[in-house]
Every structure is written in C-alpha cells, then in structure tokens.
Amino acid sequence: MKLARQRVRPLARERGFTLTGALRRARVSRNAFYHLARRATVVPRSVHALGATLGVTSAALLDEAPLSPEARAAALLSEARRIQARNPRSSFDNIWHTLWLLEATPAERLRRSLVRGRSSALQR
C-alpha cells in the first residue's frame, strides 16, 4: 500500500497542525515522510505514528490499490524529470537509476549488486 500524501495535510489542518507540526509530533522527519510518499510500499512504524498523531487509523493514510508497474514507472519518470529540471547539470540516467534503486529493498539492492559484480568478474 502507498502513503496517500494528499490526505495527510488536510487531516493535519483539521486538527490544528501544520504538516511540519504533525510530522514533528509523530517523530517522523520531513525527509522520511516524502521518501515514504514516493515509495510503492511504506514502513508501518512511521505510518502508525503519524496516524496516532492525527487521530486516525493507519489505513486512513493509505491508498488501498497498489500502483501498477506502469504507474510506478511513470511516477518515477516524473520525479526524475522534476529533479533534473531543478539540477540541469545532473545526469538524468543517474537520477532515474537512483530513484529506481530506492524502490527496492536493501536486500534486493545487495543481491543485484552481487550478481552484477559476479558478471563483471566473469567477463575479465
């Protein structure tokens, strides 16, 4: 399930918080919040803390339907273009690759790098 970022700010306002204030009370950093908002799945502890702060269930902060692979790719592409527009001297390929890797779990990233390392060693 994906964090429904567009639901959090209105819920915070209803309770008299700014988004920053709600995140601070939940002990969730802004970086963690925006990182969670970009991911296809979320870390339950952060979502539970934010839900408790806002007085709603964790489910109220989530989009039920997972994104299709096409929608996930489109979202990553859009985010990569946005980052590249702010940093025109950066490499779009590096931005895309980094965002794509952030979607994978640390164990999956490690597995891929080990496979890639073995492949390059065999080609030498």
Which pLDDT tens digits describe the chain residue by residue (124 residues)?
A: 677 888 888 999 999 999 999 999 999 888 888 887 777 666 577 788 888 999 988 888 877 666 678 888 888 888 889 899 999 999 999 998 888 887 777 788 888 888 877 766 666 6
E strands within 33-107?
62-63
Cβ neighbours of residue 49 under 8 Å, at least 6 residues apart?
26, 27, 28
Half-sphere exposure of residue 7, counting CA atoms within 13 Å on the CB side? 17
At 105, the amino acid letter reads T
- Closest by Cα among 40, 41, 62 to 51: 62
Task: Quote the pLDDT of residue 57.
Answer: 86
Task: Quote the pLDDT of residue 59.
Answer: 81
Task: Quote the pLDDT of residue 123.
Answer: 66
CA-CA distance, 44 to 34, in Å (whole number)? 15
CA dihedral 23, 27, 29, 32 (to 10 degrees): -100
Task: Quote the pLDDT of residue 12.
Answer: 92
Q: What are phi and psi of 3, to 5 degrees?
A: -65, 125
